[in-house]
Amino acid sequence: MRLLISVADAAEARLALEGDADIVDVKDPARGSLGAADAAVLHEIVDVLGAARPISAALGDAADERAVESAARAAAASRLAYVKVGFAGVADVARVESLIAAAVSGVRSVSASSGVVAVAYADAARVDSASPEQVIEAAERARAVGVLLDTARKGGGALFDLMDQVMVGRWVRLAHEAALTAALAGSLTAADLASARALGADIAGVRGAACEGGRTGRVSRERVAALVRANRRMSEPRPVMESRLEWAAPPPSGA
């Protein structure tokens, strides 16, 4: 499982890189869970990171096909690995599919290596969005590369408060059956990384846990490094315990 760290500017991007994050994600936390950063900020971050890490960027919640296609095209031109699109206010699954398809069209018009990640909300009912399962269906049909399960309203409960592990695990399985990368986010803590990995997530995204002062604070190199170490320790194979009999001293001759 790869660890994604969300950053708000170039200085935070440097700290995430120094902390050895696997993926650096660009967003504006002041604009909500999927707040899009200004184009100038995105370009500064891309300049800082270069090709050192895959970069993703939040585009916000889509409501218009032309607008999301244009935004996706502009972002993908910055050599991003992923663009993320949400659907707060859009409950109709056919419309969600149309918006994802528009974003995919925008990305593909400028980049063969960038992909669209469709964002589903665990608290979908609170923001009148399609259900997490419906977003998977729409993403598969519209040829997105992945799906992210997040929370729309920060402060309204973390991912595992809103959906239990059985529900989240089922969602991850559905995403994989649709051949989509499955990412989890939503106020995840260091302790939640073990659950995300156990449930089969390909990517876990965090911001608050990587910041001094919560998600609206500043990314800390030390916090990022600690999260990275914790995540990678989980992937290390456990040593095989040798049998006690193998280590026992042979019996004395003639015994």
Please report the domains of the chain, with CATH numbers, ordered by start residue: 2-247 (3.20.20.380)
- The pTM for the full model equals 0.90
pLDDT of residue 215: 87
pLDDT tens for 197-236 read 999 999 999 999 999 999 889 999 999 999 999 999 887 6
What are the phi and psi torsion angles at 9 (to 5°)? -160, 180
In the residue annotation, 154 being an active-site residue is answered as no
Q: Sorting pLDDT into bands at 50, 70 and 90, what band is 44? A: very high
Contact assessment for residue 93 and residue 62, using Cβ atoms and an 8 Å cutoff = no
Report whether pLDDT(254) > 70: no
CB 80 within 8 A of CB 45: no
By percentage, how much of the chain surpasses pLDDT 90?
A: 87
Specify the pLDDT at position 237. Answer: 54
Residue among 97, 90, 91, 103 at smallest CA distance from 59 = 103
**Which one of the listed residues 7, 37, 45, 84 is annotated catalytic?**
84
Which of 17, 27, 42, 201 is the catalytic position?
Answer: 27
